[in-house]
Amino acid sequence: MMPAPSQRLLGMLAMGLTVTIWASLFISLRQASQSVLTSGNIALLRFLPAALLFGWLSRHRVRHIVTTPKRYLFAIAFGAGLPFYLLAATGMQFAPVADGASLIPGILPLFVSTIAWTVYGESLSMGRRLGISLIVLGIGAFLWHSLFFSPWPVTQGHLILLAASISWAWFTIGVRVTGLSAAEAGAVLAISAVLLLPVGALSGLISFNLLQAPFDELGYHILAQGLGVGIIANYSYAFAIRRLGAEMSAAMGAFTPVVAALMAIPVFGETVSILTLAAMALIVLGAVLASDVIKWRRAQTKSDPQAA
């Protein structure tokens, strides 16, 4: 059933907050690639506060969580947890902020719709297919320029960021189909990430040097990663998915590259090429078209109980 206007408004406000924090995330990831802090340190600062908060909020819902199908819990834990973070952080070592923001949340509607269509059998209307086609053209513009005109490290970064976007799409679908609350989904995501940190350290994939980090850098990443991304954005995005649905939330998230690119200009002095602007425009327009079609179809059929 289509959500009430007040619930839809709350969902859109939550997604507006999420987009702002996501844009800041790419600024933070870019700064982290130039920091003395390792990816393990920043992952710890990102996930530990969220694990403590959401774990406490969900302490009476453990039975509900553990009875959720394990494949969906895995989609949440892997999709936006430690594996996703390592993919995104690695990709942002090589790619500009605008590229990273376009190739993760910007193309999320494509992967969400593809998974919903192939795995869960949802139908795709003609208008929604048109929007997805524009997103594909935007991705193609990025990859074409990357393959033929950019150094190999940039191309490598783009491919890693595409993998991160696929990962995040599984998280988005997982939250939608489980019926878990925002706090419960946040607990699954953050606690699993914290539990995986020692595994990553023992395997040599990540390392820690917190004692060697300047205090101001620690404070910045605690606020940006731990509070902003780890707690507020994880909660607000899961909240938006429950109010708007996975596809609508992913479509609104496609505006992240525009906000991130504007932020990167004064912070890093990055410039946005004509091709990048064109690719971003195609991705955002495609997301908007997909969003409008989804709202129209749901308003007409009133047949999507997952969006409520």
Structural domain spans, the chain:
5-307
**pLDDT classification of 301: cutoffs 50, 70, 90:** very low
- What is the rounded CA–CA span in Å between residue 99 and residue 104? 9
Residue type for position 75: A
User: Mean pLDDT highest for which of 104-108, 122-126, 152-156?
Assistant: 152-156
Q: CA geometry: angle at 224 spanning 270 and 250, to 5°? A: 75
Q: How far apart are CA 51 and CA 280, in angstroms?
A: 34
* pLDDT of 191 higher than 90: yes
Nearest in space to 254 (alpha carbons), one of 136, 159, 144: 136
| Mean local confidence (pLDDT), 173-184 | 86
Cα–Cα distance measured from residue 134 to residue 132, given in angstroms and rounded to the nearest whole number: 5
Local structure of residue 92 (DSSP, 8 states): T
Q: What is the pTM of this model?
A: 0.76
pLDDT winner (highest mean) among 30-44, 109-123, 152-166: 152-166
Q: What angle do CA 6, 308, 11 make, to 5 degrees?
A: 45
Between 250 and 151, whose confidence is greater? 151
Position 305 scores a pLDDT of: 37
CA distance 208 to 218: 13
Q: What is the model's pLDDT at position 198?
A: 93
| Dihedral-angle region of residue 272 (phi above 0 means left; psi in -120 to 50 means alpha; beta otherwise) | beta
**Residues 40 and 258 sit within 8 Å (Cβ to Cβ):** no
Residues 216-225 pLDDT 10s: 878 888 888 8
Outline where 179-273 has alpha helix (H): 182-203, 215-221, 234-244, 246-253, 256-268
CA distance 287 to 302: 21
Q: Per-residue pLDDT averaged across 276-280, rounded?
A: 83
Q: Note whether 304 and 298 are within 8 A (CB).
A: yes
Is the confidence at residue 306, as pLDDT, over 60? no
**Residue 291 confidence (pLDDT):** 58
Q: CA dihedral defined by 155, 286, 175, 308, rounded to 10 degrees?
A: 170
Please tell me the predicted confidence (pLDDT) of residue 296. 43
Residue in the structure block whose two tokens are 């607990």: 187
pLDDT at 192 over 90: yes
Cα→Cα distances 48→21, 112, 269, Å: 18, 28, 32
In this predicted structure, what is the pLDDT of residue 3? 59
- In this prediction, residue 213 has a pLDDT band, given cuts at 50, 70 and 90, of confident
- pLDDT confidence bin for 74, thresholds 50/70/90: very high
Query: Using the 8-state DSSP alphabet, how is residue 41 labeled?
Result: H
The pair of three-digit structure tokens given for residue 4, joined into one six-digit string? 């009430």
State the number of CA atoms in the 13 A half-sphere of 254 facing the CB. Answer: 32
Side chain identity at 4, as an amino acid letter?
A
Residue predicted with more confidence, 122 or 182: 182
120-129, 136-145, 163-172: which has the highest mean pLDDT?
Answer: 163-172
Residue matched to tokens 């700064």 = 31
Residue 307: band (very low, low, confident or very high) from pLDDT cuts 50, 70, 90: very low
For residue 98, pLDDT beyond 80: no
Across the range 86-103, mean pLDDT stands at 84
Q: What is the pLDDT of residue 120?
A: 66
Q: What is the pLDDT of residue 163?
A: 92
- SS3 (DSSP) at 27: helix
